[in-house]
Amino acid sequence: TDEARHLNSTSVRELLISSYQESYQIVHEASLHSRQRQSSPSSSKHVFTFPRQTEPETLEISRAAEVFQTTLQVLKNRAKQRYKRDVMAPELLSWEDVELIAELSQCPPVTHPTICLQSHLNKYRSISGLCNNGENPLWGTSNTPLVRWLPAEYEDGGREPKGWNRGRLHNGFQLPPTEATTTDAHSCMPFFRSKAACLVNFGSEIQQALQRQQMNAITSFLDASGVYGSTPRLESFLRDLSGLDGKLAVNDKFRDPRGRAYLPFIATLPSACRQSPHGERVECFRAGDSRVNEALPLICLHTLWLREHNRIAEALKHINGHWSPETIYQETRRIIGALHQIITMRDYVPKIIGQEAFEHHIGPYQGYDPSTDPSVSNVFATAAFRFGHATISPILSRLNESLQKHEHFPHLRMDSSLFSPWRIVKEGGVEPTLRGAFGTAASAISANTLLTEELTERLLVFNVSQYMDLASLNLQRGRDHALPGYNDWRSFCGLQRIKTMDGFKKVVRDYRVAKKIARIYKHPNNIDVWLGGLVEYVLPGSRTGPLFACLIGKQMKALRDGDRFWWEAEGIFSQQQKAELLKGSLSRIICDNSDIREVPPDSFGFRIPLVSCDHMPSINLEAWRDEKSQDLEQCGTPRRIKNGDFILSNTYGKLVALYSCYHGFKLKGAAAIVCEGNQWSNQPPQCTGTPH
């Protein structure tokens, strides 16, 4: 260690810069290769790419992070050559060096809290989540790392997945392979590592700051980012900026038989989605979340939310004729966000983790807590919330108005329903699938077959032209992300560690499963956390065992308490508006935006008699009638501007119009004008430039 410490700083800098140059070259070539691979046609018969479109922001940051990580690796290799022994990066580098590598790699600079003083970030949520927390502007924002609740356990301390070195023993045993061994050695499954994230936390230990982290491309908050997107760029694609009514853009080629809207298409060549065997082309749908086309029920939900936004926007425009399109859009977005939160927290989460665990881990709301980091944790995304994969039924049922098998559109094997937006457009709209979803139970997690074979034998993902196994992907993903083992997470949750494999049998639903796992893993500490959590006894009235209930509960509490714009937080809605919002439900949204006239009173309950939509409570938007109209009578509606818009806000008792430009345009002039003495203080600003 001494030579390394005594290295004078200039030679470290030289080493560092030349390592950076080499790593830049490596990453550049690797990305060229992967682009070539993606554009060359595959010979297989299942040729369609997984339409998880990655946003340019995400790509830029992950590329920077890749250069950062590779620089550390090159540096380590060179130091090893020089000193003839393993030198760990933290031994060589100071914080200044780390900052220099981050800067050279083009990781985004540190975000300073002063940017949050801009007032337009305070009336409504920003689209990326930026400045939700004024002290920690990046908490919960898109394109930042999944946070760690326990430190990562990479095989080399920094980047190698667990199990990477076959000879390496963990608690005395090799980790078992994540893929079922087959006799056919070519048939091994391809696996792509998750995109890396740039470090943001200069407050942590240097060792931790240098570790590979994984990126969350979407906002952590329950903010309806699935409807509006998580970046300004995507948001501007999704909005209908040509209309003057604050709506979202809809499909301009197809509508359902009653004239209801579909999501807009996203045209990619070759099409990333399946095509109907006959008839016109149907492209993939575009929504705020790139996974929209994956399964038919998911497309239906996205479609319902699109229609609900436009329905509410229309009603608000009617009630507040003086509102600008921007105000209509933002107020509607706020209502849709609140409905997401209510439906998730009131109707869904208690059924997933059980009422008791809900009270224990989440409890009643006690106001916004700025010290809570709302970011999604790595273990939540990579293990706990993937419990859902065990609730997927192999058959997608489609039902008619009497909730019987549909005459024209039969049930589908899951395999033939993935990435098939044409089945919505050409096969009866959203109704048959929605009825199938609430008229059929989610698969019970069965002890011996955790996941349906449709997911383990016939899954199509990314642009891989062979069937994949979702269970293997989940296990390998956990190792890719270096999640600690099952026992460490049990300790984290205050549950007893499993000492013996006999002890394991006590927490597992089925002793045969416990025996199998024991045989394969040989040591309880080694059990991958997704698997361990999935096989635990399910708590009464829930769909998860104690470990996942804890991890999901903690995450949900953080998402609620750490969200400045949480619907119940002070100053977000009036008492009257809150009372109205509580009348909202997924069933009501189905009533208002589809042909379905009978719904379960609770969409997440099963085997309950349906009720007529006439009996489902609905939100009265009169509670949003705006008193500011009086002020407006004095000054008149502020002037609209080209390529931008304004929102009205009441600041210190004055009516203010806050202008902003659409993505890609620059604001020229004062962003805010104030209504004073019967007139507006200034001329509105202009939006200049041309967007790329």
Which of 224, 381, 425, 586 contacts ligand HEM by CB under 6 A? Answer: 381
Number of residues that bind ligand HEM (CB under 6 A): 13
Closest separation in Å from C-beta 299 to ligand HEM: 11
One character per residue 433-462, x = contact with ligand HEM (rule: CB under 6 A)? ----------------------------x-
Amino acid at 225: S
Identity of the residue, 375 or 649, whose beta carbon is nearer to Ca ion in the bound complex: 375
Closest by alpha carbon to 567, among 578, 559, 579, 576?
A: 578
Closest by alpha carbon to 213, among 103, 96, 102, 289?
A: 102
Which residue reads 């200044």 in tokens? 96
> Could you please report the per-residue DSSP string of 121-181?
HHHS--SS-TTSSSSSTTTT-TTEEPB-SS----TTSSSPPTT-STT--BTTBPPPPSS--
Tell me whether residue 120 is annotated as binding: no
Closest separation in Å from C-beta 553 to ligand HEM: 15
If one asks whether residue 231 binds Ca ion (CB under 5 A), the answer comes out as no
Q: Which of residues 386-405 bind ligand HEM (CB under 6 A)?
A: 386, 388-389, 392
Closest separation in Å from C-beta 474 to ligand HEM: 6
Strands (E), 279-357: 284-285
Stretch that binds ligand HEM, among 273-281, 338-346, 379-387, 445-453 (CB under 6 A): 379-387
Closest separation in Å from C-beta 99 to Ca ion: 30
Closest separation in Å from C-beta 221 to Ca ion: 5
Identity of the residue, 34 or 574, whose beta carbon is nearer to ligand HEM in the bound complex: 34
If one asks whether residue 549 binds ligand HEM (CB under 6 A), the answer comes out as no
388's contact among ligand HEM, Ca ion, none, with CB below 5 to 8 A by partner kind, is ligand HEM
Stretch that binds ligand HEM, among 250-258, 267-275, 469-477, 482-490 (CB under 6 A): 469-477
Closest by alpha carbon to 127, among 268, 396, 333, 356?
A: 333
**283/285 Cα distance (integer angstroms):** 6
If one asks whether residue 589 binds ligand HEM (CB under 6 A), the answer comes out as no
Identity of the residue, 221 or 385, whose beta carbon is nearer to Ca ion in the bound complex: 221
Which of 213, 214, 225, 452 contacts Ca ion by CB under 5 A? Answer: 225
- Binning the chain into helix, strand and coil, the percentages to the nearest 5 are 40, 10, 50
The token duo for 554 is: 């903690």
Identity of the residue, 337 or 428, whose beta carbon is nearer to Ca ion in the bound complex: 337
Separate counts of helices (H) and strands (E) for the chain: 26, 15
Contact 236, 101 (CB under 8 A): no
Residue 342 class from Cβ within 10 Å (0-12 exposed, 13-18 middle, 19+ buried)?
A: buried
Q: Give residue 496's Cα distance to chain centre.
A: 31
Which of 74, 215, 222, 295 contacts ligand HEM by CB under 6 A? Answer: 295
If one asks whether residue 477 binds ligand HEM (CB under 6 A), the answer comes out as yes
If one asks whether residue 128 binds Ca ion (CB under 5 A), the answer comes out as no
Identity of the residue, 421 or 638, whose beta carbon is nearer to ligand HEM in the bound complex: 421
If one asks whether residue 273 binds ligand HEM (CB under 6 A), the answer comes out as no
Which of 149, 154, 385, 530 contacts ligand HEM by CB under 6 A? Answer: 385
**Cα dihedral 77/83/86/88 (nearest 10):** -80
Q: Distance from first CA to last CA of the chain, Å, rounded?
A: 51
What count of other Cβ atoms lies within 10 Å of the Cβ of residue 281?
12
- Could you tell me which residues come within 8 angstroms of residue 164 by beta carbon, excluding any fewer than 6 positions away? 155, 156
Which of 49, 73, 213, 219 contacts Ca ion by CB under 5 A? Answer: 219
470's contact among Ca ion, ligand HEM, none, with CB below 5 to 8 A by partner kind, is ligand HEM
**13/469 Cα distance (integer angstroms):** 45
Strands (E), 262-342: 265-266, 284-285
The token duo for 646 is: 């304004």
- Contacts with Ca ion by CB under 5 A lie at 219, 221, 223, 225
Residues that bind ligand HEM (CB under 6 A): 294-295, 381, 385-386, 388-389, 392, 461, 470, 473-474, 477
